[in-house]
Amino acid sequence: MIVTRFAPSPTGHLHVGNLRTALHNWMWAKKHGGRFLLRIDDTDGERSEERFVDAVRADLAWLGLEPDGEERQSSRFALYESRFAELVASGRVYPAYETPQELDLKRKIQLGRGLPPIYDRAALALSDADRAKLEADGVRPHWRFRLSPDPIAWDDLIRGPQRFDSATMSDPVVRRADGSWLYLLPSVIDDIDMGISHVVRGEDHVSNTAAQVQMFEALGAAPPAFAHEALLTGSEGKLSKRLGSLGVAHFRDEGIEPQAIVSLLARIGTSAPVEPVVDPAPLIAAFDFAHFGRAPARFDEGELAGVNAKVIHQLPFAQVADRVPAGMGEAAWDAIRPNLTRVAEAADWWRVIEGPVASDTAEDDRAFLAQAAEVARDIAWNSDPWHALTGALKAASERKGKPLFLPLRRALTGHDQGPDMAALLPLIGRERTIARLDAAAA
């Protein structure tokens, strides 16, 4: 079974890059009838906050990304201790006693000699007596995973064949001197225990993956498949700090629909065109990592606004009924939605329908509008009053095109442009139509 996971740290709100990662993990699982899991990476007890855990759940729910299960790293420490002990016993994890200052000095010396600043494994040369003395002196070790000399390789679903020489890499620290965990090892232990088949994340994790491939093998497990996506860039074409501040709260405040976010994030960075949809089923069916490129994926809020408008033009009334003005029904929604860029704008057009409206009538249109009021009194209103009105006026006044239609629209709506009048006029109704035409002609 395909099993993916989204693993945020609850130290802040999700931003648009996080949302994209969550979406792609969800889509890949759904495409293959698999499972999408949420893992809360809350090993950092000081920085993790429960309000951010709640926010993660709420953001995923808003996007329609319902996890099939949830795990929390803070409840899995016993498992980490057990697997950690196995690695210590096998010699793949070892204690190191250098202070941060000593390690920094070593790196500076190596760089000064033109050497790569990798850890020299000095801790492995310590004797039992050396370690006992350090610990008696109160020096607590941090713990490193010992990389094997074997070449590290995997076929990335986006980046293609990846090769790393472990001799150019430092043995990664997996546990701090205070006993707290760093990201690398608990994530591997969880992926094994949770049966994760695919890890989908940003390309900034590629070097982490190189170390984690060996951790999977050291724990007797085959690594999952990896897909490392190009990072998002801003519309200016470079990495933007602003992207880190764009989250669900921002998009909701801007009137962006979740379907618009899904439509855009599903496709940017791929060779497929962005397709505004209300139902994500076609996006899921077409989702394929082979369509992703390695170039940075460009996120443009202007493009999102355009996608949002196209999504709104497809939204059925049932999906917006609780967000439109009281009294507005399906016919009114169907009439005005082609002119909306945000659902909140429906209130403006509802005021046009309900009235009153203010119009500025040109002097040479007053007689025409008085004539229109008389025609409106006589036409049938039970089928298509707009075409009945304009057809009769065209014959009686010899006006056509803009001189015929524009004065009527202005008098009836107060606007030069807007929804199709054939749909709008029945909603305005006979009495309000006549009253507005009389007022404009006066």
Residues forming the annotated binding site for ATP?
A: 241
Q: Under a CB-based contact definition with an 8 Å cutoff, are residues 226 and 157 in contact?
A: yes
Residues in contact with 350: Cβ distance below 8 Å, sequence separation at least 6, in sequence order: 324, 325, 327, 328, 332, 336
Q: How far apart are CA 240 and CA 193, in angstroms?
A: 36
Measured CA to CA, the distance from residue 357 to residue 440 in angstroms comes to 10
Sequence-separated contacts (24+) of 122-126 with Cβ below 8 Å: 122/96, 122/98, 123/94, 123/95, 123/96, 123/97, 123/98, 124/94, 126/97
- Binding site, by residue number, is 241
Q: How far apart are CA 124 and CA 119, in angstroms?
A: 11
Is residue 357 within 8 A of residue 349, CB to CB? The reply is no
Which H helix or E strand runs over 28? helix 16-31
The C-alpha angle with vertex 437 and arms to 432 and 440, in degrees rounded to 5, equals: 125
Which distant-in-sequence residues (6+ apart) come within 8 Å of 32 by Cβ? 2
Q: Are the C-beta atoms of 428 and 354 separated by less than 8 Å?
A: no
d(CA 163, CA 63): 36
**How many residues belong to the chain?**
442
Structure tokens at 8: 């945020």
Strand 232-233 to 297-298 pairing: parallel
3-state secondary structure 176-239: CCCCCECCHHHHHHHHHHCCCCEEEEEHHHHHHHHHHHHHHHHCCCCCCEEEEECCEECCCCCC
